[in-house]
Amino acid sequence: MLRPTRQIRLRALAEIALSLLPGALIALLGDVVWGLAAMLAGALFQLHRHLVAIDALVAWARSPLGTPVPAASGVWDLIFSEINRRSRLMKDQRERLSMALDRFVEAGQAMPDGVIYMGPGNAIEWVNPRAEAHFGIVATRDAGAALTNLVRDPDFVAYLEADDFSEPLVMNPLRKPGLTLMVQIVPYAESRCMLLSRDISHLERLETMRRDFVANVSHELRTPLTVVLGFIETLADDDDALSREDRRHFLGLAREQAERMHRLILDLLVLSALETGAPSPTEDEVDMPELLDRVLSEGRALSAGRHRLTLAIEGPRWLRGSAKELHSAFANLVSNAVRYSDAGGSIRLRWRAVEDGVAFSVQDQGEGIEARHIPRLTERFYRVDRGRSRESGGTGLGLAIVKHVLGRHQGRLEIESAAGQGSTFRAILPARRLLSPASDEAA
């Protein structure tokens, strides 16, 4: 197959030859003048055709992109189809490039981090929605403006100007209170850079929680330890001066404090076992009436006759879950009801089927809780009345343990209470934790 240029050249030569041929034949047959005239006419005809085709080509070159190349005859047909082929190739290429660019932009838009492309002088060229939200800028309005004119936080401006981007910057944007961002600049090409911003507010919150937790535990341990140390010193210094009675009294008080620390450590161990990715609860087949009877007896022992505790079992017998964890959660609810109710009050324990599963509820006639405290009760060490909690042997971790245990069983805790009107704590477990009626009967 001939290459297109060769083909075009041969075709052009053939057309010239054809247009000159009649004149040449006339000249050969003896009429040189007419022959030359015919050859001239042939050449002029060719010239005219070429000029018309060139005009068409120029008009096409000036027409909008994508206009099809006009039709032509002869050699120009070959030329135009060649141009057509190339323009189609370019169009395909353009489309592929534009699709790649679209995909690139879409990926940038979908990034979970903020992205800003900047030109010389930190002029904004492109911003994704996340960066718009992080810095309070609008891509369409602010393109071309220097980012440092819009985000004026001194730390941020200094970071951009220092030109040392080996470490990221952690900042709290003035325009976005409560937000903590980690910002990293990535320079590329000449005097261009990409800014990446990540919302690390939740990490900050976790860090604050961790610090608070350590401070709380230290505080909780320090008080009883100080008391115990004081008693030990008194006993060591004045042992002879103390009567048997006083010694027994001091030892009793020291023991109370040691027990308080012991309870705290035990609760902390339970909580940390529940929190630190402990494996999902063992799937025992728990005999709920048996477990609840135990919880009731322990509650009565704690109450020591000061309250009237009753238990109504109206729900299914068998539940799949961790007997140990469920016992710890339910016992905590009963212990709270006893500890936060004055003597003489009734405490009703109830096990029954509810709409979306099964519920264990503990209703007391105790001091109740103001609505504003309720959402925070399951936070570690959150107490409404610190003094009463301590006096009654509370660690501030009971409801945090309840919440974790229920979470591990895909359940939830509901609290209904009002100050002075008693409380109802309801632990709800999902229906799928119940053993099927058939196995229930078999068991």
| Cα separation, 147 vs 152, whole angstroms | 8
53, 254, 423, 433: which one contacts ligand ADP (CB under 6 A)?
A: 423
| Cα separation, 274 vs 326, whole angstroms | 12
Q: Which of the 8 DSSP states describes residue 282?
A: P
Q: Is 364 in the site for ligand ADP (CB under 6 A)?
A: yes
396, 403, 404, 428: which one contacts ligand ADP (CB under 6 A)?
A: 396
Residue with tokens 């507010």: 201
Q: Is 377 in the site for ligand ADP (CB under 6 A)?
A: yes
CB of 346 to ligand ADP, least distance (A): 13
| Cα separation, 81 vs 8, whole angstroms | 11
Judge contact between 319 and 358, C-beta under 8 A.
Answer: yes
CB of 390 to ligand ADP, least distance (A): 8
| Cα separation, 332 vs 336, whole angstroms | 6
Which of 402, 404, 405, 386 is closest to 394 using CA atoms?
386
Q: Please choose, out of 9-17, 272-280, 382-390, 433-441, the segment that lies near ligand ADP by the rule CB under 6 A.
A: 382-390
134, 311, 367, 413: which one contacts ligand ADP (CB under 6 A)?
A: 367
Side-chain-side CA neighbours of 128 within 13 Å: the count stands at 19
Q: Is 326 in the site for ligand ADP (CB under 6 A)?
A: no
Size of the site for ligand ADP (CB under 6 A): 22
Q: Is 325 in the site for ligand ADP (CB under 6 A)?
A: no
Q: Give the nearer residue to ligand ADP in terms of CB position, either 237 or 391.
A: 391
Pairing state between β 346-354 and 308-313: parallel
Mapped onto helix, strand or coil, the DSSP state of residue 347 is strand
Judge contact between 128 and 115, C-beta under 8 A.
Answer: yes
| Cα separation, 22 vs 66, whole angstroms | 41
Which pair of structure tokens corresponds to residue 66? Answer: 């994508």
CB of 164 to ligand ADP, least distance (A): 48
Q: Is 337 in the site for ligand ADP (CB under 6 A)?
A: yes
46, 128, 322, 336: which one contacts ligand ADP (CB under 6 A)?
A: 336
39, 171, 185, 384: which one contacts ligand ADP (CB under 6 A)?
A: 384
Q: Is 357 in the site for ligand ADP (CB under 6 A)?
A: no
Q: Is 360 in the site for ligand ADP (CB under 6 A)?
A: no
Q: Please choose, out of 160-168, 239-247, 305-313, 331-339, the segment that lies near ligand ADP by the rule CB under 6 A.
A: 331-339
Give whole-number Cα distances, 117 to 99, 184, 427, in Å.
20, 12, 52
| Cα separation, 289 vs 440, whole angstroms | 13
CB of 241 to ligand ADP, least distance (A): 38
366, 404, 405, 427: which one contacts ligand ADP (CB under 6 A)?
A: 366
Q: Please choose, out of 204-212, 236-244, 304-312, 376-384, the segment that lies near ligand ADP by the rule CB under 6 A.
A: 376-384
Q: Is 389 in the site for ligand ADP (CB under 6 A)?
A: yes
Q: Which amino acid does the sequence have at 334?
A: V
Side-chain-side CA neighbours of 424 within 13 Å: the count stands at 11
The residues that touch ligand ADP, with contacts defined as CB under 6 A, are 332, 336-337, 340, 364, 366-367, 369, 377, 382-385, 389, 394-400, 423
